[in-house]
Amino acid sequence: MGRFEIKDNFYLDGKPFQVISGSIHYFRVVPEYWRDRLEKLKAMGCNTVETYIAWNVHEPKKGVFDFSGRFDLVRFVRTAQELGLYVILRPSPYICAEWEFGGLPAWLLAEDNMRLRARYEPFLQHVREYYDRLFSLITPLQITEGGPVILMQVENEYGYYGDDTCYMEAVRDMMRARGVTVPLITSDGPFEEALACGSLDGIHVTGNFGSRTKDRFAVIEPYAKGGPLMCAEFWVGWFDHWGNGGHMHGNPDSPQDLDDMLDMGHVNIYMFEGGTNFGFMNGSNYYDELTPDVTSYDYDALLTEAGDFTEKYDKFREVIRKYAPIPAVEFTTVIRKKAYGKLTAVSQTGLLQNLENLSRPITDIFPVCMEKCGQSYGYILYHSTLRHEQNIERIRLWGASDRANILVDSRRVANLYDTELDGEYDVLAGNVKKAQDMNVPDSDGEAVPQNEPITFAQGAPIDILMENMGRVNFGPMMERQRKGIAECVQINGHIHYNWTMYPLPLDNVENLDFDRGCTEGLPSFYKFELQVDEACDTFLELDGWGKGCVFLNGFNLGRYWEIGPQRRLYIPAPLLKIGKNEIIVFETEGRSTGVIALKGEPDIG
């Protein structure tokens, strides 16, 4: 049993202890590589590892818990302990982390009037029930119980979100009531208002920032109230979003900032290794527009997404050497990379031809949003029949997000994204008229037709494929994250009723029937086969493809999009098997080349 205390400094078993930590998110790294990443952390001179705990992966459906495989938090912590590392856990209901919905489970949004991160009893009750299960697993990991956990965090950057101190107190009390005995911290931006809103009496205050250490610590110091200064997230890089023009990089002066932190206090490096947003778990930000994050969470960290050393790693180790011994560490995991070459699709089938194989349909007069259909991630298709319309000149989706592929009579009508969904798609003009401009005539008094109205036989189908691009993970927009279509579809001048919803989380692509054919140019699945004699890390390139996601032996590798900056998807070797492997590409834009390539190095822009 041990003891960790916060006084004028951090103390471990009565002796001063300098926290030199790095962030690794267990849920962003395959478990076969946890030990490798932790060994490399220790070899740099760090004595502690920090991780968020993502509620949405551990309770994917209400009352259904998963702490296995990639989500085996206890195994990750015990692996760190075996290597002599201490652990900081951040079990807030909300984590941000550029993770889908900031770690909150999407099923919260199935409830009308749900309010988040405040003293709203239905939300708090869900947190209590989650904490009952979570803390039964993590309280035995505390240093006071013989484990490696020395600190836990109450909430996360709450000062950037709200000022409900009673809510913060409620979270703290839930943790204490469930057996937390190690010291608690808060972490907020190094600004007076953020610290004032996010701090809590009796809980040690830390800050999150990426530069100007001395100035930032000067702001935090009064809130630390004589206790140790700590940067709980030292941002050494940044994250990429689709279409941002290139891979983001961090502060070039970060080694000097690290030196200042260790001279004045304590640090947690964010990120030591970023890892990967496998599946549909990337988050998004929303300021003037939606900016969903790419699949890679490389973050320009000290280790790359694939765990390779960087120049930054070497520079940080030299700084740490001034403050702590650098241990000799044997790396026990053999990791190789390989270019497996080009593959050509062996078969193809359409989404529309496979709806019944992939989904259990739900019918309603109105379109129903994804969450109320019991779905959290992926796509949802809205199907109906056009019985009264003579043609289609205008379409508007009300309460829709994030991206719509509109198909009429098996023809693509439009792709609408984010702010385009707030307006009316004018088929004749081939563009979107924003809501505020709908009653404003063109300069010559009338629209100039560029296209013909869409005509069709009576009883023609209309299909609207909606994609959840990743829920917003920061700020008030989090409460407006219901996906799909939540209100109605307006065609020409009237609301169209009677819809069938096909939830498509795509967690069952093994049910695809590749004998059902397809319609060229419409959303389709392409199957590839890869023979493997030696399982190595590799990187999947989809040059010439449009947009979609990829599955390897049923595992969702994540999204791709031709707009970049990410150009290749990382495939860790443990996801491959010796012999035949199946790769399925879901292409929504109809821009398939039928060829993919497996390269030996990444290309994230």
Strands 391-392 and 454-455: antiparallel
- Cβ-in-10-Å burial (0-12, 13-18, 19+) of 450 comes to exposed
Q: Are strands 391-392 and 10-12 parallel, antiparallel or unpaired?
A: unpaired
Nearest in space to 483 (alpha carbons), one of 465, 497, 496, 498: 465
Measured torsion, CA atoms of residues 239, 242, 243, 246, in degrees rounded to the nearest 10: 40
Specify the DSSP class assigned to residue 13.
T
46 to 83, 318, 553: CA distances (angstroms): 11, 12, 36
| 3 state DSSP class of 331 | coil
Structure tokens given for 589: 């834009």
Nearest Cα to Cα of residue 281 among 358, 375, 370, 378: 378
Torsion on CA atoms 303, 307, 311, 316, rounded to nearest 10: 40
Give me the residues paired with residue 233 across strands. Answer: 208
Cβ neighbours around 438 below 10 Å, total: 12
Output the CA torsion 569→575→578→581 (10° steps): -60
The number of angstroms, rounded, from the C-alpha of 472 to the middle of its chain's C-alpha atoms is: 9
Tokens of 583: 């790769």
CA angle 310, 313, 315 (to 5 degrees): 115
Find, among 540, 535, 537, the residue nearest to 603 by Cα. 540
- Which letter does DSSP use for residue 435 in this model? G
21, 71, 17: which is closest to 41 by C-alpha? 21
The set of catalytic residues is 157, 233
